[in-house]
């Protein structure tokens, strides 16, 4: 393969809903670029993309797959993305390095939920978008309705570059509004036969062509002046103006294809070549120092790893986009995250399941390599300097479950496997919770975690089970309470004796010190799980020797790690040690630790103990007609709506909801909105639970303790 220069590269992410034909489109483009000798199909399970076992079994994309094709001296890097929201991380990572998002729309169904969700991410990441209306050869294809929906959902800057003459069974012709010609695609695909526009289509074509000229002129002042003077633009001028519009997200072109019968794909490739930006025409990617890398071969070498994939017979594959200079085999680079040196053992051009070794690659290209020691997704590799590309921002997990190996001897192995999965999936988290005594995993939805389970069991041969995750409650107090405890033990020889008197109070910012007992010393601790512990020494007259105070504090710390109500962490408490007794022989640190621990427990029980629960900020995008159902469901989850905003055809609901009520919410939300709603959630704060809920939590905890006994 030749070494493509930056101007000769186009990076395109194929996005859109599930089963709209993205994989078939990528396969067809690879075929026309002679990357493969024959087209495979999803049904026959022999495509370049969707080659992993889970994808073959389900006949759907689970991971983003990097591919490429060649057209008229241009290399088109394609990233075939999943359509389900559960795998949105794969889409986000791909959009980060794509210079254009090609959104595929099913002409039978129009704009679907996958398109709606992924559109919002293109807007957030400021990615140019082109629409490809697919399956125009289906008997139920309706281009006019699909175009109407595109404008309705995504705005009037959606402009057709083409429209079909004979959508439906036998589709083979479009009016190309750029060339102002009728293009007839041969049976079996290939380059179109170009003919004059028939008289019956002339008026419609002229109207849409003029709208396209205006759209092109609006993006360049010189073109606008020429348009006003002459009333028209050349095809080259239109292409220039439209490219500027595409880059600025001021123009969203629509093209027509039928991938199953290979209609219109070569023309689509030509439009990508002529109208989509090359990497150096994009604004560039921001670094943590505030600079921008703009894909210039003359700049120092820099590359961003946007995906890590575990491949059979290869191992860990690091896939990256080059943002400066060039990368060659045996080149040494530095990871700006770890500071470690990495050697590029091979430069690989990726075509799905096939990898081809190349001599080198230059700025703008997408390549892969193997055997990197510590480089993971979102890491930057540089030849010199320390420019670190701002890492990709992924959504917070929104579906959690506890996991355990069915065979306890696999526990350690399971933990290692989960860590490996995290390397290739940054929307997945796993944590061995000391607090909950559970291994908790989190992801983007129930299907996401079901796929994780499949991978663990099939590839790693570990049988696992999911079960209900506990909630990380917190315990605190609402009033002051005093208690004393005497620890006395005599069993021959030296005994144990320690007596501690304490006053505990609820802590809040700005609170005054208690005045009942004089404070001789204060220690303030920010607890690892949130909140504070204030430890006041109020001892006068040497009732307790100062050397025993650390032991008392240690006993209190042990107790707050396992609150008396639910065994959860306690927080926001002021402890005042004001009296006690010692024995000249039997007093020791152990005795005072136990006395402090038990005195704290007794005081806590009488201080109006309350359970705090984690509250999450939840943001839900829902179609207007489903608002009522979603609001009703939120109320049943003790949710408090904080506000609502309109975003196109959607309403955005902002609410605060207890984590305990969000279990399997993604499945419920999908059910009540027919899959059209999406949401995100982020930890906000801890709040007291209502009295009736607290009683239920305590009762359940006590029952669990009885079962364990």
Alpha carbons 74 and 697: distance in angstroms, whole number: 63
Does 456 share its domain with 411?
yes
Q: Given strand 9-15, what is the order of strands in its sheet?
A: 65-71, 74-80, 9-15, 100-106, 129-134, 252-256, 158-160
Report yes or no: 1 and 33 within 8 Å, Cβ to Cβ: no
> With the CA atoms of 329, 34, 366 and 239 taken in that order, what torsion angle do they form, in degrees rounded to the nearest 10?
140
Tell me, yes or no, whether 217 lies in a domain: no
Structural domain of residue 480, as residue ranges?
475-608
Does 439 share its domain with 453?
yes
Report which of residues 195 and 385 the model is more confident about: 195
Does 603 share its domain with 636?
no
Instruction: Render pLDDT for 179-194 as a digit per residue (tens, 0 to 9).
Output: 999 999 998 888 899 9
Q: And the tokens for 577?
A: 């040690």
Q: What is the mean pLDDT of residues 195-215?
A: 94
Please tell me the predicted confidence (pLDDT) of residue 646: 87
Does 64 share its domain with 81?
yes
The single residue listed with the structure tokens 């479950």 is: 401
Q: What is the mean pLDDT of residues 247-257?
A: 97
The C-alpha angle 430, 436, 439, rounded to 5 degrees, equals: 30
Tell me, yes or no, whether 548 lies in a domain: yes
In the structure, what pLDDT confidence band is assigned to residue 709 with cuts at 50, 70 and 90?
A: low
Please tell me the predicted confidence (pLDDT) of residue 664: 87
Q: And the tokens for 559?
A: 């107790």
Does 60 share its domain with 123?
yes
Lowest mean pLDDT among 2-11, 395-404, 669-678: 669-678
The closest of 292, 352, 291, 297 to 328, measured between CA atoms, is 297
Alpha carbons 81 and 642: distance in angstroms, whole number: 34
Please tell me the predicted confidence (pLDDT) of residue 465: 97
In the structure, what pLDDT confidence band is assigned to residue 344 with cuts at 50, 70 and 90?
A: very high
For the chain, the average pLDDT equals: 93
Does 154 share its domain with 22?
yes
Distance of CA 26 to the CA centre of its chain: 24
The closest of 75, 20, 19, 32 to 185, measured between CA atoms, is 32
Q: And the tokens for 269?
A: 């490739």
Alpha carbons 389 and 336: distance in angstroms, whole number: 9
- C-alpha distances (whole Å) from 287 to each of 98, 278, 279, 365, 374 are 17, 20, 17, 19, 21
Query: Of 454, 470, 486, which one is at a domain's C-terminal end?
Result: 470
Q: What is the CATH number of the domain that holds 299?
A: 2.40.30.10
Does 334 share its domain with 409?
no
Q: What is the CATH number of the domain that holds 411?
A: 3.30.70.870
Tell me, yes or no, whether 479 lies in a domain: yes
- Can you name the residues that pair with 123 across neighbouring β-strands? none
Check the CA dihedral 474-479-480-485 and report its sign: negative
Report yes or no: 345 and 317 within 8 Å, Cβ to Cβ: no
Report yes or no: 611 and 688 within 8 Å, Cβ to Cβ: yes
Does 12 share its domain with 58?
yes
Does 143 share its domain with 262?
yes
Question: CB burial class (10 A; 0-12, 13-18, 19+) of residue 277?
Answer: middle
| DSSP summary character for residue 110 | B
Tell me, yes or no, whether 138 lies in a domain: yes
Tell me, yes or no, whether 237 lies in a domain: no
SS3 for 545? coil
Instruction: Render pLDDT for 490-546 as a digit per residue (tens, 0 to 9).
Output: 776 678 999 999 999 999 999 999 999 999 999 999 999 999 999 999 999 899 999
Instruction: Render pLDDT for 584-600 as a digit per residue (tens, 0 to 9).
Output: 989 999 999 999 999 99
Q: What is the CATH number of the domain that holds 681?
A: 3.30.70.240
SS3 for 634? helix
Alpha carbons 401 and 322: distance in angstroms, whole number: 38
- Helix or strand run (H / E) with residue 640: strand 640-647
Tell me, yes or no, whether 665 lies in a domain: yes
Does 110 share its domain with 124?
yes
Report yes or no: 477 and 506 within 8 Å, Cβ to Cβ: yes
Please tell me the predicted confidence (pLDDT) of residue 225: 83
Total number of domains constituting the chain: 5
Alpha carbons 347 and 360: distance in angstroms, whole number: 6
Does 18 share its domain with 96?
yes
Report yes or no: 318 and 372 within 8 Å, Cβ to Cβ: yes
Please tell me the predicted confidence (pLDDT) of residue 492: 66
Alpha carbons 347 and 597: distance in angstroms, whole number: 62
Instruction: Render pLDDT for 122-174 as a digit per residue (tens, 0 to 9).
Output: 999 999 999 999 999 999 999 999 999 999 999 999 999 999 999 999 999 99
In the structure, what pLDDT confidence band is assigned to residue 1 with cuts at 50, 70 and 90?
A: confident
| DSSP summary character for residue 389 | B
pLDDT above 70 covers what percent of the chain? 99
Please tell me the predicted confidence (pLDDT) of residue 564: 82
Tell me, yes or no, whether 28 lies in a domain: yes
DSSP string over 478-533? SS-EEEEEEEEE-SSSS-EEEEEEEEEEE--TTPPPPSSS---EEEEEE-TTSSEE
Please tell me the predicted confidence (pLDDT) of residue 457: 95
Does 148 share its domain with 43?
yes
- What is the tally of helices (H) and strands (E) in the chain? 16, 38
Tell me, yes or no, whether 245 lies in a domain: no
Report yes or no: 86 and 105 within 8 Å, Cβ to Cβ: no
Q: And the tokens for 232?
A: 């028209």
């Amino acid at each position: 393969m030749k070494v493509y220069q930056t101007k000769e590269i186009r990076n395109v992410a194929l996005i859109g809903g599930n089963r709209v034909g993205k994989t078939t489109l990528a396969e067809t483009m690879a075929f026309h670029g002679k990357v493969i000798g024959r087209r495979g199909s999803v049904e026959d399970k022999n495509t370049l993309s969707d080659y992993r076992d889970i994808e073959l079994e389900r006949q759907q994309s689970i991971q983003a797959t990097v591919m490429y094709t060649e057209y008229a001296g241009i290399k088109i890097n394609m990233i075939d993305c999943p359509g389900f929201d559960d795998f949105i991380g794969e889409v986000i990572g791909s959009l980060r390095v794509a210079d254009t998002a090609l959104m595929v729309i099913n002409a039978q169904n129009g704009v679907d939920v996958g398109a709606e969700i992924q559109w919002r991410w293109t807007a957030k990441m400021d990615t140019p978008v082109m629409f490809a209306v697919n399956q125009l050869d289906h008997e139920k294809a309706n281009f006019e309705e699909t175009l109407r929906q595109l404008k309705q959902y995504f705005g009037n800057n959606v402009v057709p570059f083409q429209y079909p003459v004979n959508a439906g069974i036998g589709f083979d012709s479009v009016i190309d509004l750029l060339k102002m010609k009728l293009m007839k695609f041969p049976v079996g695909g290939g380059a179109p036969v170009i003919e004059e526009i028939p008289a019956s289509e002339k008026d419609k074509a002229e109207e849409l062509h003029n709208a396209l000229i205006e759209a092109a002129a609006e993006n360049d002042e010189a073109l606008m002046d020429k348009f006003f003077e002459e009333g028209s633009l050349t095809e080259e001028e239109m292409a220039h103006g439209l490219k500027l519009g595409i880059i600025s997200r001021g123009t969203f072109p629509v093209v027509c294809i039928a991938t199953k019968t290979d209609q219109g794909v070569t023309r689509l490739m030509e439009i990508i070549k002529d109208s989509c930006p090359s990497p150096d025409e994009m604004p560039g990617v921001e670094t943590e120092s505030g600079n921008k890398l703009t894909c210039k071969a003359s700049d120092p070498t820099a590359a961003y790893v946007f995906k890590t994939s575990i491949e059979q017979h290869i191992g860990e594959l690091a896939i990256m986009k080059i943002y400066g200079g060039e990368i060659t085999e045996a080149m040494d680079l530095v990871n700006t995250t770890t500071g470690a040196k990495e050697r590029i053992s091979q430069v690989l051009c990726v075509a799905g399941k096939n990898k081809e070794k190349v001599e080198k690659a230059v700025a703008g290209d997408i390549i892969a390599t193997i055997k990197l020691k510590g480089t993971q997704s979102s890491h930057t590799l540089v030849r010199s300097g320390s420019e670190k590309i701002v890492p990709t921002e992924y959504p917070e997990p929104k579906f959690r479950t506890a996991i355990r190996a069915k065979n306890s001897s696999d526990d350690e192995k399971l933990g290692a496997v989960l860590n490996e999965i995290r390397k290739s999936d940054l929307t997945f988290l796993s944590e061995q919770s000391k607090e909950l005594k559970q291994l908790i995993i989190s992801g983007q939805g129930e299907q996401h975690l079901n796929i994780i389970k499949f991978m663990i069991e099939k590839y790693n041969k570990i049988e696992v089970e999911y079960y209900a995750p506990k909630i990380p409650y917190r315990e605190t107090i609402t009033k002051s309470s005093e208690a004393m405890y005497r620890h006395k033990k005599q069993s021959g020889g030296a005994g144990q004796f320690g007596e501690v008197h304490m006053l505990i109070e609820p802590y809040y910012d700005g609170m005054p010190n208690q005045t009942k007992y004089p404070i001789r010393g204060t220690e303030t601790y920010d607890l690892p799980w949130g909140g504070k512990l204030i430890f006041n020494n109020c001892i006068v007259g040497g009732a307790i020797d100062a050397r025993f105070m650390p032991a008392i504090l240690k006993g209190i710390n042990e107790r707050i790690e396992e609150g008396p109500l639910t065994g959860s962490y306690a927080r926001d408490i002021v402890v005042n040690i004001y009296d006690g007794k010692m024995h000249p022989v039997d007093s020791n640190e152990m005795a005072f630790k136990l006395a402090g621990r038990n005195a704290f427990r007794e005081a806590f029980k009488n201080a109006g103990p309350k359970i705090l629960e984690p509250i999450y900020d939840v943001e839900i995008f829902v179609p207007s007609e489903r608002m009522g159902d979603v609001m009703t469901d939120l109320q049943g989850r003790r949710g408090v709506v904080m506000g609502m905003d309109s975003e196109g055809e959607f309403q955005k609901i902002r609410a605060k909801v207890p984590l305990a009520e969000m279990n399997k919410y993604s499945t419920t939300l999908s059910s009540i909105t027919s899959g059209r709603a999406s949401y995100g959630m982020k930890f906000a704060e801890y709040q007291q639970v209502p009295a009736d809920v607290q009683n239920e939590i305590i009762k359940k905890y006590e029952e669990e303790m009885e079962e364990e006994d």
